[in-house]
Amino acid sequence: MEEALRSFFLRLAQNQAMIGWAKRYGLRFGANRFVAGETIESAIAAVAELNRQGIAVTLDHLGEFVADEAEARAAADYCVKTLEAIHSASVDSSLSLKLTQLGLDIRRELCLENIRMILDAASAYKLWVNIDMEDFSRCQATLDIFRELAASYDNVQTVIQAYLYRSLDDVKALAEMGASIRLVKGAYKEPETVAYPDKADVDGNYVRMLDVHLPSPGLTSIATHDEQIIDYAKRAIAKQGIAKDKYEFQMLYGIRTDLQQALAKEGHPVRVYVPYGDDWYGYFMRRLAERPANVEFVLKGVIHS
Ligand code: FDA
């Protein structure tokens, strides 16, 4: 039953009619538990509140699977606007983005032009940019673009997903080049031909990737709410004496805030991924797919809307 619900929400996540509808009607169905509003002002307020608790942020102006060039350029401009807002509010935040938001599905060159413009602005403000990892069909293209950018920018990070069979080899190669990486389990619907179908295998692969990347020169962002993996990471960090500028724990806005605060109080670097904007629908569906118990929030949202 849980697997059927998971598949259902992951299919809904890419439904174009629903995406258009959601943009027109604004945050609904309890999505504001996971999304910090639709405006840059609401996002910066959420960042400032987390910073007050000793927690850093990575801000994501929501958007993905863009099929129109003008829309991709507008999304890139919005990323720069977000960087400007972070800088002028003097808050502690990096920027996260998706390459399909910047035109990866339209033309590689358009996407590269957009991401370079964003990285130039980020470099001027001394801010980091993280390239999120999307579904498997975009994985190789994303890593190729990341490698190209990492050769000329020192403020760019990307993401590796533990559910993919290929990921351990990717982490080894990236660790060797000293790249900074966010490790996640993976949030998309992938076939057994490319991804582990069993959660235990995904968790096992996560720990193997962590073991490889933690001692490498790049930053390891341990992005999970899984307490067993977090405890394992804490022990490995203590045993290997990993410096605080070489690792951080990352979690999503609105998920396990108790754990976020506890880790920060223990003195660990913690960063929360804060999404904002009107393109909230796909992101929200993936959060429901991860934990169908969240459907309760949807039902409450329907009743109150
Ligand atoms: P797992 O799913 O095993 O959950 C462990 C525990 O966390 C659960 O028992 C529950 O308590 C809590 N939990 C997890 N999800 C929840 C939810 N939706 N609602 C309520 N509680 C929940 N993925 C991707 O493919 N590309 C990317 O670029 C990113 N980027 C990213 C950034 C950051 C900062 C994080 C934390 C995660 C991502 N992800 C991602 C998402 C990631 O792949 C994964 O889907 C989620 O983190 C959920 O997996 P966990 O590691 O938390 O483990």
Residue length of the chain? 305
Ligand 1 atom with minimal separation from the 289 CA: 18
- Ligand 1 centroid to 286 CA: how many Å? 9
Segment 91-120 mean pLDDT: 97
Binding site: what residues are annotated? 98, 133, 161, 185-187, 199, 224-225, 286-287
3-state secondary structure labels for all residues of the chain: CHHHHHHHHHHHCCCHHHHHHHHHHCCCCCHHHCCCCCCHHHHHHHHHHHHHCCCEEEEEECCCCCCCHHHHHHHHHHHHHHHHHHHHHCCCEEEEECHHHHCCCCCHHHHHHHHHHHHHHHHHCCCCEEECCCCHHHHHHHHHHHHHHHCCCCCEEEEEECCECCHHHHHHHHHHCCCCEEEECCCCCCCCCCECCCHHHHHHHHHHHHHHHCCCCCCEEEECCCHHHHHHHHHHHHHHCCCCCCEEEEEECCCCHHHHHHHHHCCCCEEEEEEECCCCHHHHHHHHHHCHHHHHHHHHHHHHC
pTM for the predicted model, two decimal places: 0.93
Please say whether the beta carbons of 227 and 206 come within 8 A. no
Query: How many C-alpha atoms does 126 have within 13 Å on its Cβ side?
Result: 4
In a domain, 69, yes or no: yes
Range of the domain at 107: 36-279
CATH of the domain at 189: 3.20.20.220
Torsion over CA: 205, 211, 216, 218 (sign): positive
- Our answer on whether the CB atom of 195 is closer than 6 Å to any ligand 1 atom is no
Residues annotated within the binding site for FAD are 133, 161, 185-187, 199, 224-225
In 3D space, the residue among 70, 246, 83, 73 whose CA is nearest the CA of residue 175 turns out to be 246
Report if residue 5 sits inside a domain: no
Q: Ligand 1 pocket, 252 CB below 6 A?
A: yes
Catalytic annotation present for 182: yes
ipTM above 0.90, yes or no: yes
Instruction: Report if residue 24 sits inside a domain.
Output: no
Say if 16 falls within a structural domain: no
Q: Is 211 a catalytic residue?
A: no
Nearest atom in ligand 1 to the alpha carbon of residue 188 is 25
pLDDT tens, residue by residue, 231-245: 999 999 999 999 999
Residue 284 in any domain: the answer is: no
Q: Which pLDDT tens digit goes with each residue over 13-26? A: 777 767 776 666 66
Q: How many distinct structural domains can be found in the chain? A: 1
pLDDT band at 259; cut points 50, 70, 90: very high
262-284: pLDDT as tens digits:
999 999 999 999 999 877 777 87
Cα(109) to ligand 1 centroid in Å equals 31
Average pLDDT along the chain: 91
Answer for the pair 94, 130: CB distance below 8 angstroms, yes or no.
Answer: yes
C-beta of 294 in contact with ligand 1 (< 6 A): yes
Q: What is the number of alpha carbons within 13 Å of residue 305 lying toward its C-beta?
A: 14
Give a yes or no: residue 242 inside a domain: yes
Using a 6 Å cutoff on CB, does residue 226 contact ligand 1?
Answer: yes
Q: Is the CB of 273 under 6 A from ligand 1?
A: yes
Instruction: Find the catalytic residue in 60, 105, 132, 203.
Output: 132
Indicate whether 31 belongs to any domain.
no
| Residue 25, pLDDT score | 64
Indicate whether 113 belongs to any domain.
yes
Pick the more confident residue, 233 or 189. 233
Residue to probe by mutation, ligand 1, list 290, 294, 297, most atoms within 8 Å of CB? 290
